[in-house]
């Protein structure tokens, strides 16, 4: 039956999409001015965001459809991917099916439906139903619905009600049109001229704040702040962001940033050879991820401490899965136990967690190159060029009967000048972590029984082993600057370009001045002009 009304739904979607849409700004244009923020864009709602939007509109209980488009990752973040995503036909079908799964739950219960509307749905033309349609659309689209838009929805509702001889079905199809509109499925943020630049509107800032910190639509307080124009000022934005940071949902949402930042979502599909690693279990990978996430939560929300402590802390959380990898006895079951690791020089901080070490290793063998590459790219924010075309990246095999360590083989590999440039940036960092095997367990000898050497030199700094490397990472100013930059990119859903240089530098300075407290980084970000302003769109797409 719903297919018969597809043309009408499409017409309404087309009406709702009459907005200026945007292209990517080029480097030359961005560099033309000292402050040239990114052009505005459309952000497709991620799975958590669309699920939270449904719950915001309809409340619990609500069975959330599972078959939704997958959230891809681009440049390390699902947020950046969402800003580059369109909706393919197969995804449009998934959204349509999911929308009716949600609406059917509401309309199958007349009492719940009428409670949502505010009156019995006896005629779609009644003022109560019209008022509900206007308020529902405003909440769903996260900005005031125009009179023309509401009238079009009423026309659809009335036609379906007449054709089906069912007033409630007429309203349901109108709500489906709202929920299948680009204004629901995307965060439409195009900005407006203001203060000599192109500034996001109060309604757009309400969405930017709420989805950044809660992965959910703006609440009543944020919407009221948008109506009153309070989100046009840094003071108003800071006040609302501070309030949202105290919401328990902020913990989940910011931890999701950390998951992307550390790429630890991949641990849920940990792939190691079971014969080589007796500690392996079906739940070990997720346990590794949760340990790292809990370390982040403890630093940011419990201690509200210096983020650099994440590299040196001996405080962590273990369950039986992880205790086996750590070699710690007395911890049984899946429950999480706070643990302070012994001061024996073996472990400290996130770079010595089994999760980081296992993720950046091969299936059966360690990889100083992978571990060093991650640190160089994601902790130092430094680029590593790909190997030249045609270069053989295979390590030399040891001579028969003369076993060598992986480090020795990498040292030999770096004698090739074409390989040395890149590997010199990665391998020395990774050598510091060679005392952990491919699953992150501590060792003094490798798989051949040869002693492991974890001494190294990183950018001129002598490093005695993993703890030294962790302390070096905590002390380097480029690491704190990289964390701030990556959060800027995650929040704005684009890589920082030349036009963002001043904004990023200002954010880094704020982070340093706050003694590297992550919550202060958030407040510095949302009040930063690079987050509140956009460049004028270079082109406008008309329907």
pLDDT in tens, 491-513: 999 999 999 999 999 999 999 99
Alpha-carbon span 366 to 199, nearest angstrom: 48
Handedness of CA 51, 523, 496, 226 (dihedral sign): positive
Residue 178 · residue 102 · CB < 8 Å: no
How sure is the predictor about 18, in pLDDT bands with cuts at 50, 70 and 90?
very low
Q: Quick one: average pLDDT of 308-336? A: 96
- Percentages helix, strand, coil for the chain (3-state, rounded to 5) are 55, 5, 35
CA gap 252, 25 in Å, rounded = 32
- Whole-number Å distance between alpha carbons of 536 and 193: 8
Quick check: 484 and 504 in contact, CB under 8 A? yes
What is the rounded distance in angstroms from the CA atom of residue 246 to the CA atom of residue 478? 29
- Predicted local confidence at residue 46, as pLDDT: 97
What is the rounded average pLDDT for all residues in the chain?
A: 90
Query: Rounded to 10 degrees, what is the CA torsion of 25, 31, 33, 39?
Result: 20
Predicted local confidence at residue 410, as pLDDT: 83
Q: How confident is the model at residue 29 (pLDDT cuts 50, 70, 90)?
A: very low
Rounded Cα distance between 395 and 388, Å, is 16
- Residue 315 dihedral angles phi and psi, to the nearest 5°: -90, 130
* Cβ–Cβ < 8 Å for 196, 25: no
The token duo for 187 is: 């965060």
Paired tokens of 145:
């619905």
* DSSP notation for 90-157: HHHHHHHHHHHHHHHHHHTSHHHHHHHHTS--S-TTSHHHHHHHHHHHHHHHTSPPPHHHHHHHHHHH
Percentage of the chain with pLDDT > 70?
Answer: 89
Question: Using CA atoms, how far apart are residues 263 and 468, in angstroms rounded to an integer?
Answer: 23
Tell me, what's the pLDDT at 1? 58
**First CA to last CA across the chain, in angstroms?**
27
Start-end of H helices in 180-230 = 182-185, 202-214, 220-227
Residue 393 has a pLDDT of 64
Q: How far apart are CA 87 and CA 64, in angstroms?
A: 20
Q: Using CB atoms within 10 Å of the CB of residue 406, give its burial: 0 to 12 exposed, 13 to 18 middle, 19+ buried.
A: buried
What pLDDT, on the 0 to 100 scale, is given for residue 8?
43
Q: How distant is the alpha carbon of residue 175 from its chain centre?
A: 29
Stretch 149-168: mean pLDDT, rounded? 96
Q: Are 398 and 409 in contact (CB under 8 A)?
A: yes
Residue among 70, 86, 73 nearest 21 (CA): 86
CB of 198 closer than 8 Å to CB of 233:
no
pLDDT category of residue 13 using cuts at 50, 70 and 90? very low
Cα(475)–Cα(454) distance, integer angstroms: 20
CB neighbours of residue 512 within 10 Å: 13
Provide the pLDDT confidence category of residue 277 given band limits of 50, 70 and 90: very high
Contacts (Cβ under 8 Å, ≥6 apart) of 187: 42, 43, 45, 142, 204, 207, 208, 211
Name which of 320, 262, 252, 332 is nearest 287 in CA terms. Answer: 320
pLDDT at 438: 97
Distance CA 504, CA 81 (A): 21
Nearest to 386 by CA among 399, 401, 373, 396: 373
DSSP string, 398-409: PPTT----HHHH
Tell me the two tokens of residue 215.
């992965």
Predicted confidence at residue 415, as pLDDT, reads: 67
Lowest mean pLDDT among 71-85, 334-348, 400-414, 485-499: 400-414
Are 357 and 398 a contacting pair, CB within 8 Å? no
How high is the pLDDT of residue 409?
84
If you average pLDDT over residues 468-476, what whole number do you get?
96
Residues 6+ apart with CB under 8 A from 324: 279
List the structure tokens of 516.
Answer: 């590297």
Token representation of residue 317: 């959380």
Per the CB < 8 A criterion, the answer to whether 149 and 17 are in contact is: no
pLDDT of residue 536: 80
**Maximum C-alpha span of the chain:** 89
More confident residue, 194 or 458: 458
- Of 155, 141, 147, 219, residue with least CA distance to 12: 155
- C-alpha distances out from residue 322 to 77, 274, 293, Å: 27, 16, 14
CA distance linking residue 273 with residue 198, whole number of Å = 54
């Amino acid at each position: 039956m719903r297919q018969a009304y597809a043309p009408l739904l499409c017409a309404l979607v087309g009406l709702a999409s009459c907005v200026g849409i945007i292209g990517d700004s080029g480097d030359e244009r961005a560099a033309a001015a000292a402050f040239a923020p990114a052009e505005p864009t459309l952000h497709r709602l991620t799975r958590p965001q669309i699920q939270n939007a449904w719950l915001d509109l309809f409340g619990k209980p609500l069975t959330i459809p599972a078959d939704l488009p997958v959230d891809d990752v681009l440049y390390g973040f699902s947020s950046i991917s969402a800003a580059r995503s369109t909706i393919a036909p197969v995804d449009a079908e998934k959204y349509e099916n999911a929308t009716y799964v949600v609406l059917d739950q509401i309309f199958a219960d007349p009492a719940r439906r009428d409670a949502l509307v505010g009156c019995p749905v006896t005629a779609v033309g009644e003022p109560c139903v019209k008022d509900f349609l206007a308020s529902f659309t405003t909440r769903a689209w996260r900005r005031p619905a125009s009179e023309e838009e509401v009238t079009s929805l009423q026309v659809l509702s009335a036609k379906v009600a007449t054709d089906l001889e069912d007033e409630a079905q007429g309203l349901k199809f109108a709500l489906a049109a709202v929920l299948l509109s680009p204004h629901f499925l995307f965060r439409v943020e195009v900005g407006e001229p203001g203060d000599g630049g192109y500034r996001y509107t109060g309604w757009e800032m309400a969405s930017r704040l709420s989805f950044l910190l809660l992965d959910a639509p703006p609440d009543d307080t944020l919407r009221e702040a948008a109506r009153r124009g309070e989100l046009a000022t840094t003071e108003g934005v800071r006040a609302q962001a501070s309030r949202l940071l105290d919401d328990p949902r902020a913990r989940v949402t910011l931890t999701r940033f950390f998951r992307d930042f550390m790429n630890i979502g991949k641990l849920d599909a940990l792939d190691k050879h079971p014969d080589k690693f007796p500690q392996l279990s079906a739940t070990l990978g997720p346990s590794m991820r949760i340990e790292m996430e809990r370390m982040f939560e403890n630093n940011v929300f419990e201690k509200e401490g210096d983020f650099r402590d994440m590299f040196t802390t001996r405080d962590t959380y273990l369950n039986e899965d992880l205790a086996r990898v750590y070699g710690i006895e007395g911890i049984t079951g899946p429950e999480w136990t706070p643990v302070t690791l012994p001061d024996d020089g073996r472990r400290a901080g996130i770079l010595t967690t089994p999760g980081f070490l296992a993720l950046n290793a091969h299936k059966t063998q360690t990889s100083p190159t992978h571990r060093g590459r991650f640190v160089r790219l994601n902790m130092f924010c430094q680029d590593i060029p790909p190997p030249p075309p045609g270069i053989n990246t295979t390590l030399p095999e040891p001579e028969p009967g003369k076993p060598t360590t992986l480090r020795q083989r990498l040292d030999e590999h770096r004698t090739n000048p074409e390989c040395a440039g890149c590997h010199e940036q990665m391998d020395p960092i990774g050598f510091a972590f060679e005392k952990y095997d491919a699953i992150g367990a501590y060792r003094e000898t490798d798989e051949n029984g040869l002693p492991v050497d974890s001494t190294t030199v990183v950018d001129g700094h002598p490093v005695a082993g993993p703890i030294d490397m962790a302390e070096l990472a905590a002390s380097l100013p480029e690491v704190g600057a990289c964390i701030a930059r990556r959060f800027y990119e995650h929040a704005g859903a684009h890589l920082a370009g030349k036009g963002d240089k001043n904004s990023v530098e200002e954010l880094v300075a704020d982070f340093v001045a706050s003694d590297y407290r992550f919550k202060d980084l958030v407040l510095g970000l949302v009040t930063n002009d690079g987050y509140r302003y956009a460049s004028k769109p270079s082109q406008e797409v008309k329907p």
